[in-house]
């Protein structure tokens, strides 16, 4: 039996997310890693974050990865599975550990932010075309990937090239560029990420990210560099996001958010946009759902936050442009079940 042949007959799910998840240690107080006395355990991983949020939103989701045969691997599989994600395609690697990392409490955009990764040689970094169940990975309406996986090893890069290669009957391939400069020590990142994005059907990229990686200025320049994906989502921070969908261009401003922690918002945005895409909603509404799901992450301390209830989000998405422009969301907003006009808070 070849690596690409069926190992079983996996159920077709709404979304398959493939990538490394790690156990993350969050500081008990602000300050340098050298000064933090203790940490709380959580989970972190771009693709598994998307999987968990989508499962919490009611979608059927599978996570495909590898973890070590250790307690941290147990914790990841049990925690992600508890969200309702199918984790049957996550084998244990007895010869490699589960990755972990520590981070400070500060905003990732500041120079004071520190992250200490212990992922070199991790089980997930050993993913290959031969040891990943490609049948399970492709058994979804959407296959969600990110550029982080391609940076983990030469073998992972080969796996990503295989999954983004054109082939009959492949699922809609969603790709979040997710450039992490610290993972690309050999300088190969810009070209490989460009190649992978051009092979995807739906691409998420930050405007600042495109500037840093490819020296592209503005959403139009990003689209000119990425003509192949049918849908290109350019995230523009507090200004909102712009979608290029075939020949149409749609911009939707982000609501004002009282930020608690600026972590996890990009993954949450992707989950909200994908959820609305699976529901067949118009592009404007997909963007608004992305913004609302990102706002749920921004208004809690950790990387993962429960998305707003679907009917709650739908009411806010249906606001007219003026009311949407006045929308301001703070901690606890996802628990407010009031009418849409009552949920609009002016600054």
Active centre residues (catalytic):
267
10 Å CB burial of residue 88 (0-12, 13-18, 19+) is middle
The crossing angle, in degrees rounded to 10, of helices 46-56 and 71-82 is 30
Decide: 17 and 62 in contact? Cβ < 8 Å: yes
Place of tokens 């973890």: 67
Beta pairing partners, 41: 25
**3-class DSSP state of 282:** coil
E strands present in the chain: 13-18, 22-27, 39-44, 61-64, 67-68, 92-93, 100-103, 115-118, 140-146, 172-176, 202-206, 231-235, 241-245, 248-252, 256-257, 328-329
Backbone region of residue 229 per phi and psi (left: phi > 0; alpha: psi in -120 to 50; beta: other values): beta
């Amino acid at each position: 039996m070849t690596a690409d042949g069926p190992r079983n007959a996996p159920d077709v799910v709404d979304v398959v997310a493939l990538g490394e998840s790690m156990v993350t240690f969050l500081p008990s107080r602000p300050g340098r890693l050298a000064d933090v006395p203790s940490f709380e355990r959580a989970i972190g991983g771009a693709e598994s974050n998307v999987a968990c949020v989508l499962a919490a939103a009611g979608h059927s989701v599978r996570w495909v990865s590898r973890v070590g045969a250790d307690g941290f691997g147990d914790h990841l599989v049990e925690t992600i599975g508890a969200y309702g994600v199918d984790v049957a395609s996550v084998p244990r690697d007895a010869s490699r550990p589960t990755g972990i990392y520590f981070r400070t409490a500060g905003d990732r955009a500041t120079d004071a932010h520190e992250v200490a990764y212990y992922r070199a040689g991790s089980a997930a970094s050993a993913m290959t075309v031969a040891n990943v169940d490609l049948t399970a990975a492709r058994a979804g309406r959407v296959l969600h990937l990110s550029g982080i996986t391609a940076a983990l090893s030469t073998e992972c890069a080969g796996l990503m090239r295989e999954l983004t290669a054109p082939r009959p009957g492949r699922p809609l391939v969603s790709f979040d560029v997710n450039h992490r400069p610290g993972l690309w020590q050999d300088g190969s990142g810009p070209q490989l990420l460009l190649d992978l994005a051009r092979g995807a059907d739906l691409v998420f990229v930050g405007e600042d990210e495109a500037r840093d990686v490819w020296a592209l200025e503005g959403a139009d320049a990003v689209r000119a560099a990425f003509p192949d994906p049918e849908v290109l989502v350019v995230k523009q921070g507090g200004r909102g996001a712009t979608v290029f969908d075939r020949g149409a261009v749609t911009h939707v401003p982000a609501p004002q958010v009282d930020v608690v922690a600026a972590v996890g918002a990009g993954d949450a945005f992707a989950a909200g946009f994908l959820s609305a895409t699976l529901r067949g909603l118009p592009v404007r509404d997909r963007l608004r759902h992305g913004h609302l799901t990102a706002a749920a992450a921004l208004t809690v301390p950790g990387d993962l936050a429960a998305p707003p209830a679907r009917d709650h989000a739908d009411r806010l998405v249906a606001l007219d442009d003026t009311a949407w422009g006045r929308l301001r969301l703070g901690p606890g907003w996802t628990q407010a079940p009031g009418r849409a006009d009552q949920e609009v808070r002016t600054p």
